[in-house]
Amino acid sequence: MWSGGRLNCQYSPGMSEGTVMAQALYFTFVLSCLICGSHGLVSSGNGTTTVRSVDYIKTTTVTPTEKRDSTTKPNTTQSNKSANAPAVKLTSTTTSKVLATTTRPPRTTTTANYSFNTEDLNEGIDKKVEKRVWNKEPEDEPLELECPPLGLESLRVKDTQLRASSYKRRGLGPHRGRLNIQSGIEDGDIYDGAWCAQYEDKKQWLEVDARRPTRFTGVILQGRSSIWSWDFILTYKVQFSNDTLVWQPAMNGTKEAVFEGNQDTETPALALFNESATVARYIRINPQSWYENGTICLRAEVLGCTLPDPNNIYAWQQTEQGTQDKLDFRHHNYKEMRKLMKSVTEACPDITHIYSIGKSHMGLKMYVMEISDHPGKHELGEPEFRYVAGMHGNEALGRELLLNLMQYICQEYKLGNQRIVRLVKETRIHLLPSMNPDGYEMAFKKGSELAGWALGRYSYQGIDMNHNFADLNKVMWDAVEFDFQNNDKSKLINHYIPIPEYYTSEDAFVALETRAVINWMQNIPFVLSANLHGGELVVTYPFDRTEDWAPRDDTPTPDNSFFRWLATVYASTNQVMSNPDRRPCHNENFQRYNNIINGANWHTVQGSMNDFSYLHTNCFDVTVELSCDKFPHASELPIEWENNKESLLIYMEQVHRGLKGVIRDKDTEAGIADAIIKVDDIDHHIRSVVDGDYWRLLNPGEYEVTVSAEGYNPSTRMCRVMYEHYPTICDFRLTKTPKQRLKEILAKGGKLPKDLQLRLRQLRLRKLRASTKAINSRRAAASRKARGS
């Protein structure tokens, strides 16, 4: 795999999320990396191997001891020793403590200002961190491609632009020959993982129609995505044409060039053409040799610069739709992200605040941009919103969209855009562009087209953070099962489920980044959130885990109708998801579900952030899969911004749906923290925060709401949620119970007021009458029994 003039070849299994369900069946042979140019291999005597190749492929060096950059999970023994203790797997002996910890919900422990210390981005990056992450070597920078990809992976190249000499069946047709396309679990369906020729000879080809005169500069190849088959191309030729009748081969001097292909099924292999590359409309990839135990199968991307057609008087119609927004459309590594965030705070210092919620395993800070009219503090009644991106470091589009979003809000706020001004003044917004900065840096160094499907997905410790949060679903369902078997509701709890004891230990298999996000959740009372991913086009909502460990099964929350509304809001306003003519990304057609799906009904995920957020906090969270291409080329970022801009804004506005209010002490008017807000017929409660304010997301309708708090009498009222884009205010004032008032008075050494004395006297008389009545009833029954005998 090319990176900065150097070819790094390591095995990368890179399974898709759908394939994860079949990991128990997944078995492959890891081949040694055999890099052979047209003249073979030459040992340099210093542990490196030099590749001699044709003029079209640059001379490269492969070092066996290069730092780990494959997509296989890294060895934790290589982790930096100065960081916190490496994660270790949980033992089964600790799980028996889970149910016992659910008997009492936790008390709120956050402070009233709900803020983190401001980060000074003028300070340099720690030298030790800089040395660990960036070695100042050429391969640390992504390869600068002369021309961008045509768009086989991103689907800009349509199915009708792809042809082949033959194909085994529809599921292995030319439309499946796209870089990084993922197969389903089963071979033989219409969603297989490559183009595969019907015949095994050197006359087979895959053809791409660029539709315009194009200066082709290179080809990227992968083998077949499959958990059952092992197919890839070893060598291939390339031909060009303007009419598909006459074909001109790519030449190496006076001979037809033969290019090196793959050594495994997943690692992308790049071949660059020489400077006098042919300008044509069509390009063919013609396999010459393939893995001996496999067949002719490939996935491809083509690099090329489109040229204006002098014969086309309607060339203006071919101009691709971009965006009018003046934003920084490129991929930003950690250093560049810091600079961009700093520039936004300098442009809009009155509405922005940068803070860090923690550090990654390699020591990179996890920066958050806060946007509010009073940044740095929580305002009574103002909801808190968050976007999180980059949980999987190689899913880079979400990172860039959040960086674009903070620039856009700053610019539009200064221009007086009333929609943005209202959003900033009425909402406290938190944007975390990179939850997994270590993983992103690994993928970024390879480049958007050469990172493959899974390089950078995991944390540096090899942890998939989307499976790394505490499994509170199990705690809840175990409690329900206990109640069913013992008819004991004391352990039932439907909200604020505490984290099991084993999960909080230093030895728990929990990433440092996950711990930082959990602490962030516990310190700020978020109301609504979305977790931005990539590799598909769909919005998923909780629950993400099935109750009985089925591979997939619809597992709704008590708030299912509102979650479906949230998912629909984003999907229906996304320009690509809402396009009825779009083709499926990989192996699922989500259009039949209107581009939304219950997470567990797609594939079960234990320990997801969505489920944890719903069960441990007041926050509703969904996952947005933004694009078929996890790491789109920089040239596609303006289009992706335009596809998602309205969705990002309108989703944030949903934080103002439902009810909000303040729960106060009737006598003192002080806010009551930790009050439980129960909506009739919805078996999921929320709690008020330190100042007594609360937010309950609900669809339009009339609801019976009951509020209770320790030491207070419950209060119930009817609250109507309207269709307008603002919440219904539903305040509560609670009166202390006589017992609580008595306790507080006696604690202060004071005398009881007359009304409380009268109330206590009435209670005593009531108890006396009840006990007297019970005694008389027992005596009467005994007398009747005596007379009968």
DSSP states along 303-324: EEEE---TT-TTGGGGPPP--S
Core vs surface per residue 19-32: b (16+ CB within 10 A) or e: bebeeeeeeeeeee
Domain 334-656 annotated CATH 3.40.50.720 = no
pLDDT of residue 140: 61
Amino acid at residue number 363: G
C-alpha distances in Å from residue 399, one per residue of 121, 137, 340, 344, 626:
18, 25, 12, 15, 11
Q: Which are the catalytic amino acids? A: 625
Question: CA–CA separation, 744 vs 32, rounded Å?
Answer: 75
User: Can you read off the two tokens belonging to residue 107?
Assistant: 């008390």
Look at domain 159-308 and name its CATH class. mainly beta
260, β-bridge pairs: 235
Q: Kindly list the domain boundaries of the chain, sorted by start residue.
A: 159-308, 334-656, 659-746, 754-782
Positions in the chain whose pLDDT score sits under 50: 1-111, 138, 315-319
User: Can you read off the two tokens belonging to residue 600?
Assistant: 């567990």
pLDDT of residue 487: 67
Question: CA–CA separation, 187 vs 229, rounded Å?
Answer: 9
pLDDT of residue 593: 93
pLDDT of residue 108: 37
- pTM for the predicted model, two decimal places: 0.81
Architecture of domain 659-746: Sandwich (2.60)
- Find the Cα–Cα–Cα–Cα dihedral 231, 234, 235, 241, rounded to 10°: 30
C-alpha distances in Å from residue 143, one per residue of 1, 140, 556:
10, 9, 45
pLDDT of residue 114: 76
